[in-house]
Structure 1
Amino acid sequence: MEAEIGGAVVHYVEHGDGIPVLALHGAGVDHREMAGALEPVFRGRPGYRRVYPDLPGMGRTPVPDRLRGSDDVLDLLLGLIDAVVGDQQFVIVGHSFGGYLARGIAARRPAQVAGLALICPLGEEPRDVPAHAVLHASADVADALSPAEQASFRDYFVVQTPATVERFRKYVAPALPLVDRDGLGRVFDQWRLSDTSAYAGPTLILAGRQDATVGYAGAWDLVARYPHATYAVLDRAGHALPHEQTGLLTALIAEWLDRVDEHRAA
């Protein structure tokens, strides 16, 4: 599906009916990574309309020339929300850069955002970021991935098993050749958002203990801004936490959704 927002076209996929769930992927992939992570959560949980956009410069959403930073991307997403969600309450799940944008949406629309979930969120001041180290490797990737894909897989995953190779092949690799790196470069030249202020709704913050991209220590600093946040650091998980800790991800997202439902009913 496509929505035209101020002359820009945003591609998105949606599943289900009910309260909208806006799922925002990170940099260098597309909507398929978030759909692969979240659809198992909703398999036995009706009542949610999952909306998975391709962020600008990734998947099938181009980067308009006027986009010059994260604030411009945020404005585009707010326009998408107006077009696709309207004035309904909705929840947001964001991974990495998508988590950073999700924080911006919650800051701008706190009354409309019913819940916020951040997975390995990018932050303004990452600290104590560990070097990339593979914890477990039991997969032969030579037959499953191209040489370029093998390099991306090895740099992204700290748990390298047949199961994580398959998830990479299905949910990550197809997006790699679609990235507009020049367009993303324009966005990341001014990547800091002007507003990521506090949000008081039900919040979940998940970090990977072995995350060599954003680390886990900086995510703890967010807890002070979110008074109803559950914060968890998962061992055996890097920046690819949604693929490496699928069971815990499903359980923690489900518990967060329970808190969202409780909060909305109060």
Structure 2
Amino acid sequence: WLEPIFNNLIGFQRIYIDLPAHGRSLIDRDFSSSDDMVVNILDFLDQTIPNKEFSIIGFSYGGYLAQGIFYKRRDLVKSICLLAPALHLKQRNLPEKIAYVKDALELHSLDSDIRLAFETLMTFQTKENLEYFLNEIQPGRLLANREFLGSNWREKGYYFLEEPFNDVDILPQPALIILGKLDSICGYKDHSFLIDKFPNSTFAVLDQAGHMLQIEKRELVQELIKDWLITLLRYLT
């Protein structure tokens, strides 16, 4: 869903990362926290684009890790885009989980594990969104290290040792924050402090959208990211 944005934009190298324990990225016994995740990703960046400036896009938990990367590499991160990101908050202000559209016939034929994930993540549970889910989300779920992800690391090591933005009031980097008003996983009300942190930012709360913004509001999200990238080009020149 992200790659088509670059059809008419040139000059951007893209590096897509499978987070540790996700997709084809492995994990070992030394991993026990989100801080370990960030160190691993930073090691990858240091090997792949050493001392080079870059921008970063993070979704959900990846958005939380993106904040940790930003904190550690603030001198190299030129801009940041956060989609429905988790925050450094143990208590989240979340709307009630509601399924506005639910195609019972399509859901009835699903494997129970897929159905549970789809119903948990999606607000608009339509046939079209199910196809997106099966093509784009489910393959990663099949490759993920469920033993690790289902372990007690979330209770012991999910939150960073340091809040990523606690040491600075104003950040000059262009930022894009996209949230869903119906997001019952990461919410949207807790994120308003980012407006003040990033004065050069676009802050969008999308109506009729839950956690899976890139599926439920695909075209709008794509246009917002395209605008952020164009802004970045102007900022760099």
* Structure-1-length-normalised TM-score: 0.80
Shift of 1:229: 1.9
Where do residues 145-160 of structure 1 align in structure 2 (5 Å cutoff)?
Answer: 145-160=110-125
Shift of 1:72: 1.0
Q: Classify the secondary structure of the residue corresponding to 2:215.
A: helix
Whole-Å separation in 2 of the counterparts to 1:111 and 1:263: 15
Q: What is aligned with 1:166?
A: 131
Where do residues 68-147 of structure 1 align in structure 2 (5 Å cutoff)?
Answer: 68-125=32-89, 126-138=91-103, 140-142=105-107, 145-147=110-112
Q: Structure 1 residues 205 and 169 mapped into 2: Cα distance closer, same or farther (>3 Å)?
A: same
Shift of 1:138: 4.6
Q: Classify the secondary structure of the residue corresponding to 1:49.
A: coil
**In the alignment, structure 1 residue 251 sits paired with structure 2 residue 219:** no
Any conservation in 2 of the 1:210–1:236 contact (CA below 8 Å)? yes
Residue among 143, 158, 163 paired with 1:191: 158
Whole-Å separation in 1 of the counterparts to 2:46 and 2:140: 26
Q: Which has the higher contact order (CA 8 A, sep 6+)?
A: 2
Any conservation in 1 of the 2:24–2:144 contact (CA below 8 Å)? no
Whole-Å separation in 2 of the counterparts to 1:159 and 1:120: 16
Whole-Å separation in 1 of the counterparts to 2:69 and 2:199: 17
Choose between structure 1 and 2: higher strand proportion. 1
Choose between structure 1 and 2: higher helix proportion. 2
Counterpart residue identity of residue 102, structure 1: A
Shift of 1:239: 0.8
Any conservation in 2 of the 1:205–1:229 contact (CA below 8 Å)? yes
**In the alignment, structure 1 residue 211 sits paired with structure 2 residue 183:** yes
Shift of 1:131: 1.8
Whole-Å separation in 2 of the counterparts to 1:218 and 1:140: 36
Gaps of 5+ in 1: 1-36
* Structure-2-length-normalised TM-score: 0.89
Q: Which moved more, 1:195-204 or 1:168-177?
A: 195-204
Q: What is aligned with 2:211?
A: 239
Q: Classify the secondary structure of the residue corresponding to 2:13.
A: strand
Gaps of 5+ in 2: none
Any conservation in 1 of the 2:88–2:163 contact (CA below 8 Å)? no
Any conservation in 1 of the 2:57–2:82 contact (CA below 8 Å)? yes
Q: Classify the secondary structure of the residue corresponding to 1:73.
A: helix
Shift of 1:99: 0.6
Q: Classify the secondary structure of the residue corresponding to 1:48.
A: coil
